[in-house]
Amino acid sequence: MIKKSAIIIGGGVIGAFTAYQLLNKGWQVTIVDKGRFGEGCSEGNCGLIVPNHILPLNASGTLFKTIRGMLLKDAPLYVKPRIDLDLFKWFYRFSRNCGQRNVLASARGRHALLQSSFGLYPSIVEKEQLDCNWEMGGSLHVFRTAKEWRAYGAVDAVLRKFGIAAEKLNRDRLLHLEPGLSPDLVGGWHYNQTAHLWPERLLEALRRLLTKKGANIIEDAEATGFETHNGRAEGVRAGGKIIAGHAFVVAAGAWTPQLQQELGCRIPIQPGKGYALTTTRPLAAPSRPCFFEEKSVVATPWTDGFRLGGTMEFSGFDDSLNPKRLKALSNGAAQYMPGITAGAVEKEWCGFRPMTYDGLPIIDQSPRLKNVTIAAGHNMMGISMGPGTGKLVAEMINRETPHIDPRPYSLERFSRTGFEKTST
């Protein structure tokens, strides 16, 4: 019997988990990437699987912080001042999504995908023996100011309605859990249902696994459009060739809008640039991932390495490494944990998060080409949402009953809110 073939545009965590699920369902899979597999935003991020992060950025007074950040070049949130109509529209829509009703709607969609992924990860890691420093050790949100520590109680109250509980820690309890933290801190919140991994190693392991299962990975081949017939795609133009297939997935992360004309819909995704600094593991490293809240810096410890990550910069696809922003990561972290920056620097990195204005990914069929599925816009949660997304996309392509309700991730939501026409 001739196998059905799926072509996936984008070899990031979303493309990789989609490939994995399709291979398991008997599809023949080809992944095309404009660069190297696994070297987009999925490469150097913090590697946290955090099902408690159900609230989108809209929920956190981000707009005010962004406006303030425009004035400070080392602020965690920064918008490069420039004339960019798409960015302006994106922020306008972002601001319209800050109300409680919209935030809760996003939270419900995020919750479903995060729970699905958190449930799938351990079995995939174990069954496929993915060598990626997988650890289920919980995580800490750490505070320097009493005001912010107490204010987090409002987040906790919302999360509890979703069945996600944290332990509130006073300073003594916090220092008991992480003795290397500064005694100046006021307290924290502890989640035990979280995990972390080393993203580069995850992507390397997935590459080996997909190849072993028969996937074809084509690199340095930018997809520029589709060969079409009767409202369906027959092939994708990439790297000077036409790669034919029965089904297509666009998992091109922050670059997905570059194909929007071909897809027949607007894709409201902006690149949200983040930075990461990887060092050898310092003696003072925390034993579990920590969010240093007031400075928006994340620390991820691995047995043989350590990473600080953070910042959100809306500056287009400028991939230069700003030393001030890297310095802000280590200076910020050192205020919470003296000695945390003592490791030898191994890697300085930046990546582009695919940011939608409501914090939800897009997982839906192209309105123009019925056999093309879009799977992009995972914001700050692509590693956390990867397995669930892959499963949902494969179910949609294979015409199976989806394991979670796909409606929150539809393109239709953009037209429903009156902000976005879904056809160009």
Residue 368 is a binding residue for ligand FAD (CB under 6 A): no
| Cα–Cα distance, 297 to 140 (Å, whole number) | 12
Complex with ligand FAD: residue 170 or 192, whichever CB lies closer = 192
Phi, psi dihedral angles at 399 (to 5 degrees):
55, 45
Residue 12 is a binding residue for ligand FAD (CB under 6 A): yes
Complex with ligand FAD: residue 15 or 301, whichever CB lies closer = 15
Q: Tell me, residue by residue from 371 to 410, as one string, x for binding to ligand FAD by CB under 6 A and - for no binding.
A: -----x-x-xxxxx--------------------------
| Cα–Cα distance, 137 to 160 (Å, whole number) | 20
Strands (E), 253-384: 269-279, 290-292, 297-302, 305-314, 345-356, 362-365, 372-376
| Cα–Cα distance, 364 to 408 (Å, whole number) | 10
Residue 214 is a binding residue for ligand FAD (CB under 6 A): no
Residue 309 is a binding residue for ligand FAD (CB under 6 A): yes
Sequence letter at residue 313: E
CA 210 from chain centre, in angstroms, equals 21
- Tell which one of 3, 24, 26, 35 touches ligand FAD (CB under 6 A): 35
The set of residues, in sequence order, having a beta carbon less than 8 Å from that of 102 and lying 6+ positions away, is: 58, 96, 358
Residue 75 is a binding residue for ligand FAD (CB under 6 A): no
Residue 222 is a binding residue for ligand FAD (CB under 6 A): yes
Applying CB under 6 A, which part among 37-45, 78-86, 208-216, 322-330 lies near ligand FAD?
37-45
- Tell which one of 10, 245, 286, 332 touches ligand FAD (CB under 6 A): 10
Applying CB under 6 A, which part among 29-37, 77-85, 120-128, 261-269 lies near ligand FAD?
29-37
- Tell which one of 18, 21, 34, 54 touches ligand FAD (CB under 6 A): 34
| Cα–Cα distance, 366 to 372 (Å, whole number) | 6
Sequence letter at residue 29: V
* DSSP character at residue 192: S
Residue 274 is a binding residue for ligand FAD (CB under 6 A): yes
Antiparallel, parallel or unpaired: β 139-143 and 223-229: unpaired
Specify which residues 307 forms β-bridges with.
278, 300
Beta carbons of 250 and 374 less than 8 angstroms apart: yes
Applying CB under 6 A, which part among 33-41, 58-66, 99-107, 164-172 lies near ligand FAD?
33-41
Q: Tell me, residue by residue from 241 to 260, as one string, x for binding to ligand FAD by CB under 6 A and - for no binding.
A: ----------xxxxx--x--
Complex with ligand FAD: residue 171 or 201, whichever CB lies closer = 201
Residue 210 is a binding residue for ligand FAD (CB under 6 A): no
Complex with ligand FAD: residue 187 or 253, whichever CB lies closer = 253
Complex with ligand FAD: residue 326 or 381, whichever CB lies closer = 381
At closest approach, how far in Å is the CB of 23 from ligand FAD?
A: 17
| Cα–Cα distance, 110 to 333 (Å, whole number) | 28
Residue 359 is a binding residue for ligand FAD (CB under 6 A): no
Reduce the DSSP state of residue 404 to 3 states and report it. Answer: coil
Rounded to 10 deg, the angle between the 100-127 and 382-397 helix axes is 80
Residue 99 is a binding residue for ligand FAD (CB under 6 A): no
CA 288 from chain centre, in angstroms, equals 20
Complex with ligand FAD: residue 15 or 187, whichever CB lies closer = 15
User: Helices H, strands E: what count in the chain?
Assistant: 11, 20
Q: Tell me, residue by residue from 162 to 201, as one string, x for binding to ligand FAD by CB under 6 A and - for no binding.
A: ----------------------------------------
Applying CB under 6 A, which part among 21-29, 268-276, 362-370, 391-399 lies near ligand FAD?
268-276
At closest approach, how far in Å is the CB of 234 from ligand FAD?
A: 17
Binding-residue total with ligand FAD (CB under 6 A)? 41
Beta carbons of 350 and 319 less than 8 angstroms apart: yes
Q: What is the dihedral of CA 100, 274, 271, 211, to 10 degrees?
A: -110
* DSSP character at residue 419: S
Residue 217 is a binding residue for ligand FAD (CB under 6 A): no
| Cα–Cα distance, 351 to 271 (Å, whole number) | 9
Under the rule (CB under 6 A), what is the footprint of ligand FAD?
A: 9-15, 32-35, 39-42, 45-48, 222-223, 251-255, 258, 274-276, 309, 351, 353-354, 376, 378, 380-384
